[in-house]
Amino acid sequence: MAGLTVRYGLLEALTNVSLTLAAGETVAMIGANGAGKSTLLRSIAGLHAPVAGTVRLDGLDITGLPTHRRVASGIVLVPEGRRLFPSLSLEENLLIGATPSRPGRWNVAGVFELFPWMAERRNRPVVYLSGGEQQAVAIGRALMANPRILLVDELSLGLAPAVVRRLYDMLPALLATGMGILLVEQDVTQALRVSDRAHCLLEGRITLSGRPRDLAPADVEAAYFGLAKGPAAGRGQG
């Protein structure tokens, strides 16, 4: 993905953002509310058309491809707020994830193996599930497409920290299957814990990039809040 710029009317949500994602790699995108993180994921998924820049998969330009075709080529989004289908049961929500019929190891049985509690509640409407359970269904639904690239938007939103931790702890199992994961997260600690590389987004621009262990907390704080480096960085409240 190179030089991506996205606008809502006059507002520029992303300015010249570039990043790469390799198979088996987790990249985290951190940043404050309104930094453009969700816009970035939605643009990669094909829900926003950029005014400039390109999105490439294996070197192939897919910038003009509609969302459902991107899913068919293996780019799958776990959207912010889960966006499950209320008139479908748990199992139907998973089954609809298999719409593009991509071959791979994930199917209903595989998802039930990952989340064993789902099997006995398969016929439940999803509205009766807790927030954490719904997030698990959203992940399962995305896995059903056998993604090559999994885009995860705000996994932690509205969930208890213990639940978030449990959800993040299953990421290695997914990475082992060779998919690449791009995470967008407000919970910086969680994001840095699980990722191989991280970028910090501020007002639509990448302000800091690197491997989590190379990133000094003060630098992250400065990049996150947009504070000038130096003495001022210490005053950020986080």
Partner 1 sequence: MVWVNAIVQGILLGGLYALFACGLSLMFGVMRVVNLAHGDFAVLAAYLALAVITGLHVPVLWSALVVAPLFGMVGYLVQRFIIQRSLDISPLTTLLVTFGLSIVIQNALLEGLSANSQSLPSGSLASASFQVSSQLSIGYESVIVFAVAVVVLVGLQVFLSRARLGRQVRAAADDQEAASIVGVNVRHVYGVAAAIAFATVALAGVAFGMYSSFDPAAGPQRLIFAFEAVVIGGVGSLWGTLAGGIILGVAQVLGSQVDASFGVLAGHLVFLVVLAVRPSGLIAARLS
Identify the residue among 71, 90, 139, 179 touching partner 1 (CB under 8 A): 71
Identify which of 149, 138, 43 has the alpha carbon closest to the alpha carbon of residue 102: 149
Binding mask 139-168 for partner 1 (x = CB under 8 A): --xx--x-----------------------
Residue type, 191: A
Cβ-based nearer residue to partner 1, 98 or 227:
98
Return the number of other C-beta atoms located less than 10 Å from residue 56's C-beta: 12
Size of the site for partner 1 (CB under 8 A): 26
Q: How far apart are CA 167 and CA 136, in angstroms?
A: 7
Ramachandran bin of 149, using left for φ above 0, alpha for ψ from -120 to 50, beta for the remaining angles: beta
Told to check if 182 binds partner 1 by CB under 8 A, we report no
32, 96, 157, 218: residue in contact with partner 1 (rule CB under 8 A): 96
Residue 45 or 164 having the CB closest to partner 1: 45
Helix ranges (DSSP H) in the chain: 37-45, 67-72, 90-97, 108-114, 131-143, 161-169, 171-175, 188-194, 217-225
99 binds partner 1, rule: CB under 8 A: yes
Q: Take residue 58 and report the two structure tokens written for it.
A: 């294996």
Selected from 3, 18, 34, 68, the binder of partner 1 by CB under 8 A is 68
Residues that bind partner 1 (CB under 8 A): 45-47, 66-68, 71-72, 76-77, 79, 83-88, 92, 95-97, 99-100, 141-142, 145
